Structures are given as C-alpha cells and as structure tokens.
A = this chain, B = another copy of it.
Amino acid sequence: MSRRLRIAIIGTGFMGRMHAHAWRTAPRFFDLPFEPEVVVLAGSDAQRASDAASRFGIAESSDDWRAVVARDDIDAVDICTPGDTHAEIALAALDAGRHVLCEKPLANDVADADRMTDAAAAAASGGVVAMCGFSYRRTPALALARRLIEEGRVGRIRHVRAQYLQDWLTDPEAPFTWRLDRDRAGSGALGDIGAHSIDAAQWLTGSRITSVSGTLRTFVDERPVLDERVGLGGRAGAGAGAERVTVDDAAAFTASFSDGALGVFEATRMATGHRNANRIEISGDRGAVAFDFSHLNDLLFADATLPAGEQGFRRIDATEPEHPYAGAWWPAGHGLGYEHLFTHQSVDFVRAVAGEIDAHPSFAEAAGVQRVLAAVEESAASDSRSIRVEGVSS
C-alpha cells in the first residue's frame, strides 16, 4: 500500500465528518491497493471550514472548492454538499480529471443528473472513476440479501415492498431546515430517503422500475425559523418567523419492475415512533428476504423450498466472516453500525480507482434513480396516473 490516494472533501456538515471518518478507517481494516488520505476540506465559509477540518482531523481547509478541485496533488474529490451544488462541483472535478465520489441524490433534477452521467462516461475513458453514495448498498445484511437473490434463493421475484420511515418532522413545531426548501433539496422525503429505497430495490432485484403511480403529501405547510442565536437544534423563540415548506413530508407510490414484480414504496418523515426504519422486503417464488435498518445487522430470510412445517423467516446475523465486508471486522455477533456503510464505500471506491472492481452505483445508475423520482413527481401532479420511467424499456 505504498501509493496514496489524495482526497479533497467538499462539505463541512454531518456527511463531511462521516466521510472523513470512513477514509481514515478503511485502510486500518481492509487491505487496499492505495492508501487514502484526506488532504483538504473545503467549505463555503473559511472559519467554518477551518474549524471542521480541525475537528475531523484534516490538515488543510479552504473556502474555495474550485481551487481545491484544480490542485494537482488531489486525486479524488468527495462531494458532501447539498444536492443543488452536486452538478457544478462534479463536472468541474471530472473535467479536471479527478475521481469523484458524490453523495446522493446525484442531483436535484434529471437534466443535471444526465449531464453528470455524460461527463462521467467521457471521463471513464481516461480511467477516471465516478461513484454515487447510495451507502445502504454497503450494509452487510443488504449485500447478503443481494447475494442470496443472485444465487436464486429468492427465485422469481413478485413483490418489492419498501418503507423508509423517519419521524423527525412529526412535531408541527419542528424547525425549518434547508431540507424543507425545494430549491436546495430538490424534493422532500421522496428524494432524501425514498431515493435510497429506489436504489436498493433496483440493485437488489437487478431489475428496473418501468412505471410508477404516486402521490405526495405536505402535512405541515409552514415551520418556525430558528433564531440563529439559539443555535442548531434549538426551538424557535418568540419573534422568530416562519418559513414555507416547499417539499413533500411523505411520498407513496406503486411501481412496476422490468421483471414483472410489483413494488409498493412509502417514504415519510412523519412515521411516528420510527427514527430511521429503512425497510425493504423482496418476495419470490423460492424465498424472501426482509431488512430493517433499525436492526441493521439482521437479514431475515425465508426459504420456501424447505418443508412447509419448517419454514419461517430466520434472523441471520450478517456478521460472519463469509458475509459481505464483515470478515474485516470483529468476531461474529459483535454488531456493526451506520458508519461502516461509509467505510465500505471508501473501500470499494479505492478498489474501483485501482481497477479491481467496477464503480457502483455509477452516475448512470444514480441518474436512473433520479428518473424514477421525476416520474413519481409527474404522476403525483397528474392525478396519480401511471407514468413510464423515461429511458427504461419494459
């Protein structure tokens, strides 16, 4: 591991910290072809970037992502900013010949996603890697689900049922954030968490969503604005104003898959009692797999080829040495957490840069997710009429 992969992280928030941790941790547990090293953290505000770099353990900081992307000593750009900035940064980075890891959603609309996909395709010919951060794919239990499906253990797939349930907006007085602003976030629960379900569904089944019929809801139209002086996480004080919510609180849609399966999707931030229940279940004629991120190390697997009297969902603790990614960690049964998804993502990114594996989710795959999101929004605006997903042949 003599060669280094020098990385710039763009974004000083929660995701920037997460990625910094992942890059630092990956080489300590996995044998990697390159040693990743985050050399600089860029943000829009100099002081905030400097503070964050110090907290995240990164030597340098900058308030000029363009300059950072242009630096010759940077091999890869890791984009951890809100969705409305992804396209500009990614295009600049790819143009400069940098490998790019871009957080999801790839972009806030299909047009941007397509431009990014085209740029990634062009860059690929020069050996440049572009990957989108649908990190749930790197959950060992979900990766095990995919392996079982690929091995035929679920058989011909009939059903995909996905619920992504959060509850942080249950309280009508929960404060306004940029995630509730369509200009910044693109959409609400649909794009933020429903996108994860769509990516997982297509990846697990190896099949594409061909059409959708959807509906969106905004239950609370307006939310209090935090008095900045109160700080993040505080409550709106007297005299603070309110801001209009311009995205969905919840989205629901049915879907047809290219292999004939029926999908039912729900994404909401008002599922009272569920902090982060990212659930997906796939039913086939030979078996079924079911997952809930609330117990992220568990995969439930029902084998319908067993005698009827012995069937039932079994809880596989996906921490065995033979399970995806798990062998690098602790003895079986010593659970992994959320951050491992990102460490595994870093591992796969480094291996893709070295040419050992293909880079997935590709920008093209992520743009495909964006197309499904767009179709759901179009259907919701058209009386839930079924809308074909653009560019997918059924």
Contact = CB atoms under 8 A, between A and B. Distances in A.
B250 A159 contact: yes
Interface size on A, as a range, is 35 or more
A18 B340 CA distance: 14
Interface in A336-394: 336-340, 379, 383-386
A275 B333 contact: yes
Interface stretch (A40-48, A75-83, A164-172, A196-204): A164-172
Contact of A295 (B57, B287, B295): B295
A340 B268 CA distance: 29
Contact of A276 (B260, B334, B340): B334
A288 B316 contact: no
Interface in A248-304: 249-250, 252-254, 256, 260, 262, 264, 266, 268, 270-277, 283-288, 290, 293-296, 301-302, 304
A302 B333 CA distance: 15
A252 B264 contact: yes
Interface stretch (A61-69, A85-93, A119-127, A320-328): A320-328
Contacts of A316: 309-312
A249 B260 CA distance: 13
Given A159-B250, A262-B217, A25 B18 contact: no
A235 to B, nearest CB: 13
19 contacts: A14-B330, A18-B330, A25-B25, A158-B272, A167-B283, A271-B283, A272-B285, A273-B312, A277-B333, A295-B295, A296-B335, A309-B323, A310-B316, A312-B316, A314-B314, A330-B338, A336-B337, A337-B340, A383-B385
Interface of A: 14, 17-18, 20-21, 24-25, 27-29, 55-57, 144, 154, 158-159, 161, 163, 166-168, 170-172, 213-215, 217, 219, 233, 249-250, 252-254, 256, 260, 262, 264, 266, 268, 270-277, 283-288, 290, 293-296, 301-302, 304, 307-317, 319-323, 330-340, 379, 383-386
Given A158-B268, A159-B271, A312-B317, 16 more contacts: A21-B29, A28-B56, A172-B285, A233-B321, A254-B384, A270-B285, A272-B288, A273-B290, A273-B302, A293-B335, A296-B335, A335-B337, A335-B338, A379-B384, A383-B385, A384-B385
